[in-house]
Amino acid sequence: MLQALIDSFTCVLIGFLSVKILQKNIGVFAGILSAFNLNMIVLSSMALTETSFLFLFTLSNLLLVHYILEKKSKYLYAGLAFLALSTMVRSASYYLLPLTLFYLLLLVFLRDYKFFKLMPLFAVSTTIIGIILLPQHLHNWDENRSTDFVSQKGTHILGWVVPAVYQYSGMGSYDDGQKLAHSRLEGELKKEGLISLPNDPFEASRYKVRVAYSIFEDFGYFNILKSWTVGALINMLAPSAAFSPAVRAMEHPSFYATQGSGIVEKLWFYITGSGSLYLLILSVGTITSLIFFLIFLLGWYLALRNKEKFQQSILIFFTMQIAYFLLITGPIIGSKYRLPIEPIMTVFIAYAISYILDKRKINLSLFRNQNLIVRNKL
């Protein structure tokens, strides 16, 4: 119930975000759209941190959009504070904090080219972020003498990203990629005369990261880029229903465990190994995701063209966030990894649909006028 309540508040925030950027009727429409967002509904029904993160992240975006439009520093400080709080819930936004601060300070500088205006904004902003994040860093230092924020980076990169790159680049199956990562890790340990990884989780994480980067060097930039592109495309089109516990209980193989040396072969084996009802839900969900993705692209394009209605600094800000989350997610796939950008996508989708409806009204009015002219002539 609490998750559902938080999700409802997020829908309201998405509506306010659209109102602030565009206009009231589009904001109401965006709020309604988000209330029917299956990705948000499914994840809010599960005991995960995604729903709380999305609420804090969306609130941060609303405040930062206020700052971009109204140039009041209180919105900057509050927006960065909630962005830092969202990072405490999920560390995915950790590197977005300095990127966001840099972008917003750059906007201030480009307005009047005065460095002295940046100093108080930078000082207060970094202090606020430090107050929220520093306790976690100090805790990690006291416990493990590490300045890192989390200790899961190594497991994520070596255990998940390396096998995914191995498969999506066409070098072999995901299972083979896992075996490669494991054998390379064992080989590096033997070289250094170690039997196992260090007990310190942060030291072990750094060790895994070092091994993973050495594997990436062997893969080459093209294969890494290819797998990241495939991962981004799948994440944008992944049907939200597939993550639902009821759908996941249906007959189908694990996508990661499915054999295949490339994405096409992997998809083929996945489809042929799934039950008919699961495939039906998957097909409908994928087609629906594709339609909304295309509408989102249209909305983004319209925002790019209509500089008077959609401020370009906000467009760049949102595009930066979309690129950031697609980049850090990489080849790790699943509809839940799209969740942080769902509110942004909803704004663009609502904008595109309202534009289409407005054009349709204009065309209908022209059609009526033409009919009246013909009738008068007769």
Percent of the chain topping pLDDT 70: 95
Task: Provide the pLDDT for residue 368.
Answer: 44
CB 116 within 8 A of CB 122: no
Distances (CA, A) of 241 to 195, 245, 271, 285: 44, 9, 16, 6
Please write the tens of the pLDDT for every residue from 218-274.
999 999 999 999 999 999 998 888 888 888 888 887 777 777 777 777 778 888 888
- Enumerate long-range contacts of 246-254, CB under 8 Å, 24 or more apart: 247/278, 247/281, 250/275, 250/277, 250/278, 250/281, 251/275, 251/277, 251/278, 252/278
Per-residue pLDDT, 113: 73
- pLDDT tens-digit map of 27-66: 899 999 999 999 999 998 888 899 999 999 999 999 999 9
Mean pLDDT taken over the chain = 89
Q: What is the pLDDT, as a whole number, of residue 358?
A: 80
Percent of the chain whose pLDDT exceeds 90: 64
Q: How many CA atoms lie within 13 A of 268 on its CB side?
A: 6
What is d(CA 298, CA 296) in angstroms, rounded to the nearest whole number? 5
One-letter amino acid of 13 = L
Distance between CA atoms of residues 64 and 229, nearest Å: 29
> Which residues fall within 8 angstroms of residue 123, CB to CB, at 6 or more apart?
none
Q: Which residue has the higher pLDDT, 169 or 206?
A: 206
Mean predicted confidence (pLDDT) in 311-322: 95
Predicted local confidence at residue 361, as pLDDT:
66
Q: What is the mean pLDDT of residues 16-25?
A: 90
Asked if residue 286 has pLDDT above 80, the reply is: yes
Strand, coil or helix: 131: helix
Please report the pLDDT score of residue 370 as a whole number: 45
Torsional sign, CA 357, 360, 364, 366 = positive
Residue 288 CB coordination number (10 Å): 15
What's the Rg (C-alpha) of the chain?
24
Taking CA atoms, 15 is separated from 63, 220, 348, in Å, by 13, 44, 12
CA–CA separation, 123 vs 370, rounded Å? 63
Query: Is the confidence at residue 376, as pLDDT, over 50?
Result: no
DSSP 157: I
Kindly report, residue by residue over 142-152, the tens digit of the pLDDT: 988 898 999 99
pLDDT at 303 over 80: yes
The DSSP annotation for 264-315 comes to: HHHHHHHHHTS-HHHHHHHHHHHHHHHHHHHHHHHHHHHHHH-TTTS-HHHH
pLDDT of 377 reads 40
Alpha-carbon span 265 to 104, nearest angstrom: 44
Tens of pLDDT, residues 91-105: 999 999 999 999 999
Q: How far apart are CA 122 and CA 103, in angstroms?
A: 12
User: Considering the entire predicted model, what is its pTM?
Assistant: 0.89
Cβ neighbourhood burial of 60 (10 Å; 0-12, 13-18, 19+): buried
Which sign does the torsion angle of CA 337, 340, 341, 347 carry? positive
Count Cα atoms within 13 angstroms, Cβ side, for 39: 28
> What's the pLDDT score for residue 346?
96
Tell me: pLDDT of 363 over 80.
no
Residues 161-203 pLDDT 10s? 999 999 888 888 888 899 999 999 999 999 888 888 988 999 9
